Amino acid sequence: MRINTWDVVSLSLLGLTSGLTGLVYGRLPEQVATHFDIHGTPNGWMPRAMAAAFLPIFGLVMWAITRFAYKLVRDEAKRAAAAGPMPFIAALTTLFLCAIHCLILRVAVKPDTDIMRPLMVMLGLFFVVLGLVMPRIRRNPVVGVRTFWTIQSPEVWARTQRVGGYALVVSGATCVLLGLVGGPSAMAASIVVLFGSSIVPVVYSFFAARAEKS
């Protein structure tokens, strides 16, 4: 297994996040709010130990899956192509999850902290960066717009990833702006925009496949 710079970044982020969690662990309440409604009001909790460990462990698992799932591709040439942006995407996903974890810790220590605004900004930035990378993603078992039509055709896959990338960049930038505005209406609009961006490439892949066959 070859470790590169992005792997070092990912594992360092997880280590720093775990260290920060250890520093503030004694200040956390017995029940830590981990889920919030659109107004930023907590509506889901975890015991302190579980809340402290869940996202760092989940982040490590997600890093490993994103980073190495391409090895499941059987064809050697396709495997090499699929490996391209995976270290960066794994690092990006790790950064996002660590940032969410730190935000949850912040709210646990200072309950009057507004969680929705920074959360939507972080989510929007994540979508923007992921969207910029998506056109480089080759067929693999876990990352990208995987539909029946993209899996069947390399051309439909490539075209769909480009469209999905555009959709993510636009929706992510919109989400950042709405997150900066704040308020329940802006948060609701952000959710609608992000959901819509996930539908666009799926629908596009269907029509791209039909066009390819005609």
Contact 204, 165 (CB under 8 A): no
Taking the model in full, what pTM does it have?
0.88
pLDDT of 112 > 80? The answer is yes
Number of domains in the chain: 2
Residues 107 and 160 in one domain: no
Residues 101 and 11 in one domain: yes
Residues 207 and 179 in one domain: yes
CA 36 – CA 33 distance, rounded (Å): 8
CA 137 – CA 66 distance, rounded (Å): 12
The pLDDT of residue 81:
64
Nearest residue to 7 (alpha-carbon basis) of 95, 81, 91: 91
Residue ending a domain, choose from 113, 141, 172: 113
pLDDT tens digit sequence for 154-201? 999 999 999 999 999 999 999 999 989 888 888 889 889 988 888 999
- At 78, is the pLDDT very low, low, confident or very high (cuts 50, 70, 90)? low
Residue 19: which domain range? Answer: 1-113
Residues 71 and 57 in one domain: yes
Residues 195 and 147 in one domain: yes
CA 158 – CA 188 distance, rounded (Å): 31
Residue ending a domain, choose from 59, 89, 113: 113
| More confident position, 84 or 172 | 172
Residues 41 and 68 in one domain: yes
Residues 13 and 46 in one domain: yes
Least confident of 4-8, 87-91, 141-145: 141-145
The pLDDT of residue 72:
73
